[in-house]
Amino acid sequence: MREVIYLKTNNETGCGLCDATWGKYYKDIDGDNMVFCCSICADIFEEMVRRVKENTGWKSIDYVELHGNYSRGRECTARNGDDTFSYYFRTYSDGKFITFEKR
């Protein structure tokens, strides 16, 4: 049986990426049916998870701490067990990544 690993973030009240409580858009991220405010936030989050895995070689992510916004970009730390990975990213308003760098 496949083990379902739930990806949690510090955004507990609203959208998994920006924490807004407008909209309700669901997307499967690593087996977890996560809620976002819109399809763009969902796509950004999915791409962010893909890039973290690509950079770390992790199979899954337990938790992501996100700080910032669309204008400033987002400073994040992802955790997998005892391992952590800190990074920064910025996107266009349509979700296309401009920057993703290890911090």
Residues that bind another protein (CB under 8 A): 14, 18-25, 36-41, 69-73, 90, 92-94, 96, 98-99
Distance, in Å, from the CA atom of 35 to the CA atom of 41, rounded to the nearest integer, reads 10
Cβ 40 vs Cβ 47: under 8 Å: no
**Is residue 93 within 8 Å of residue 40, measured between CB atoms?**
yes
**Of 96 and 103, CB closest to another protein:** 96
Going by C-alpha positions, the residue among 26, 31, 27 that lies closest to residue 2 is 31
Closest separation in Å from C-beta 81 to another protein: 31
**3-class state of residue 2 by DSSP:** coil
- Which of 58/100 has CB closer to another protein? 100
Shortest distance, position 59 Cβ to another protein, whole Å? 26
Q: Which is nearer to another protein, 36 or 87 (CB)?
A: 36
As measured in angstroms, the least distance from the Cβ of 86 to another protein is 20
* Lookup: tokens for 10: 């510090």
